[in-house]
Chain A
Amino acid sequence: MFGLGKRDLTLFLIVAVMALFAPFILNPFPTDSGMAQFNAGYPDLMQRFVIFGILAIGFNILFGLTGYLSFGHAAFLGVGSYAAVWMFKLLSMNVIPAILLSMIVSGLFAVVIGYVSLRRSGIYFSILTLAFAQMSYNLAYSVLTPITNGETGLQITLDDPRILGVSATADGGIPVTNLFGLEMRSFETLNIGPWAFQFSVGYYVAAVIMLISFYIAIRIFRSPFGMMLRAIKSNQNRLYYTGLNARPYTLAAFVISGMYAGLAGGLLACMDPLAGAERMQWTASGEVVLMTILGGAGTLIGPVLGAGFIKYFENIFSKINDQVVHGWVSFLPDGLEDLVVALIHPFVGKGWHLTLGLMFMLIVIFLPGGLVEGGQRISRRLRRKPAEDDAKSASTEPAE
């Protein structure tokens, strides 16, 4: 079905179901309970999960398949955002033209950067892409201020032309981003007992686009083109002597990957119509690399998991402050309580980067295949327990 194999179809359907029911799945704790702060099912964060999922899926097409580690992917994210906001300023507040333009502009941008950077491979390629991204970042702050609005960031204002829309709403406010009238920021709250589930238009638009992107990524992985990309990673020398030129293949992968990043940037702007240069900073590029490696580079689902993992940490773990920890360990005697809080303190709240860094190190050292490898190991162990005899036949299955 849909031109997918059985396993890929199962994977796709699981992701689809999880994406559609995310408001329930990510909200397991009742609103009033002490655990409610671990709920991730609010629209803003869910949108970020799927949008950064798109970014990581695209990055994985380049890094996971060809092995070319781009360290400048945030540049495409930023370019996509700027393009989308310009579309909101000039054309209309509908998200469709904004998303299309952000993909086109970032694609063109990727052709230029890729054409130059792909002359080198390995670390030199990474440095070249990093240089381009930093260049874009600094230009956005300086000479490109007329386009990017410098440090303030590009915003929509009341005197924008918006030739297909309105400059201001009837009551004089700034119009909001919408999909043919459906406002991105609008949401419905469903109360079931003590739980409150929020269904936002913005999230579902982003989720559907993420599913389309994921589907296309699966097709690319299983296509002859995807196989060529893996061949490039495996042995470029053999590829040259087999009558194939690696350059157009890597460039195509780079452009596709850049367009995914541009799409993600455009979607970010659709959810919140402003674009700033900080989106292009090298730390943002590094974050994509972390997401992909953490989830499992070269696997289909890995980057999405990695993106969710990092965004969850960034938004949830960072909110655990000392008071919250005190609340958890209040059953301990006072002196001991303070000691425990002092010990946990560097790892939570503002220190969430430390925890993330440690997790990243542990995963890279013990699970080089990322979270996906962890999942595979667990499922293999579970499967081995009931029938010890089957272990042999299971281990000879081709690795995915």
Chain B
Amino acid sequence: MGILEVKDVNKRFGGLKALSEVNLSVVENTVHAIIGPNGAGKSTLLNCLVGKLIPDTGSVMFDGQSVLGRKPFEINQMGISRVFQTPEIFGDLTVMENMMIPLFAKRDGVFRLHAIESVESESELRGRAEQMLEDVNMLDKRHMHSASMSRGDKRRLEMAMCLVQEPRLLLLDEPTAGMARADTNNTIDLLKQIKASRDITMCIIEHDMHVVFSLADRITVLAQGTPLVEDVPEKIKGHPKVQEAYLGEHA
């Protein structure tokens, strides 16, 4: 039984069947990649996992609890964090403030009116934020205005913001989209380092085969809203169905 269990999920947008009979099981402490050509339903599936979309039928269970009908912030509180395709950070705030917000969310829940305490005096949380920034090599940038950073740094910051909450499942939506080769390799190294240093399950949606094959423990291939195959990377590489549906397209 996996930490994330998707069963018979269907999602239809008008006449378009975006997802049909999707079954997926993500095993705890693994990196699970979901690949597929454009329009295969990868992002729709991800949005069903985080509460942005609700499937028409089927169930999505995280750690034995259904996530369906819960709002994104409730799902985050259950222990699922999400990294977006284009880094979503608080651009008007400093790097340190960006780190403090997820820590407050983790400690105080969905809402708490702490209007008179001072952010400066939260030394325990600040310590944890600095530790996390050090892990992603950003401690020297902690006073920077986060909007003025490079895209690669924004990506690092976004990951640090997700990880500082110690999520049990980290969802990554094309974390290397639009990146140069060097940045992509940096991101791969960062993800490997993250995976090695803690107990975390990752679910990656990715286009770039290089990224997928360097990180994934298991791969699900999605095409036209249905999973074609699910297997270990070595088997996926040579799989005729995959060649036809996905790799063949690029050749």
Contacts and interface: CB of A to CB of B under 8 A. Distances in A.
A249 B109 CA distance: 12
A234 B90 contact: yes
B203 to A, nearest CB: 15
B91 interface: yes
Given A240-B72, A241-B76, A234 B91 contact: yes
A220 B73 CA distance: 24
A198 to B, nearest CB: 36
A248 interface: yes
A240 B165 contact: no
A346 interface: no
Given A238-B90, A244-B110, A228 B119 contact: no
Contact of B88 (A3, A228, A241): A241
A396 to B, nearest CB: 10
Contacts of B6: none
A121 interface: no
A399 interface: yes
A65 B51 CA distance: 27
Contacts of B90: 230-231, 234-235, 238-239
B143 interface: yes
Nearest to A397: B143
B130 to A, nearest CB: 16
Nearest to A225: B115
Given A224-B104, A243-B77, A233 B111 contact: no
Nearest to A226: B115
B101 A231 contact: yes
Given A237-B88, A238-B89, A399 B145 contact: yes
Contacts of B50: 241
Contacts of B100: 224, 227
Contacts of B115: 219-220, 223, 225-226, 252, 256
Contacts, number: 110
B228 interface: no
A12 B175 CA distance: 45
B199 interface: no
B104 A245 contact: no
Interface string A202-227: 00000000000000000110111111
Interface in B73-131: 73, 76-77, 81-82, 84, 88-94, 97, 100-102, 104-106, 108-120, 122
B48 interface: no
B81 to A, nearest CB: 7
A364 B179 CA distance: 38
Contacts of B94: 398
Interface in A1-42: 3, 5
A241 B119 contact: no
A224 B114 CA distance: 6
B71 interface: yes
Interface of A: 3, 5, 219-220, 222-228, 230-231, 233-235, 237-245, 248-249, 252, 256, 398-399
Top 10 closest pairs, chain A to chain B, by CB: A243-B76, A243-B105, A234-B92, A248-B111, A225-B115, A234-B90, A238-B88, A240-B72, A245-B110, A224-B114
Interface of B: 50, 71-73, 76-77, 81-82, 84, 88-94, 97, 100-102, 104-106, 108-120, 122, 143, 145, 161, 165
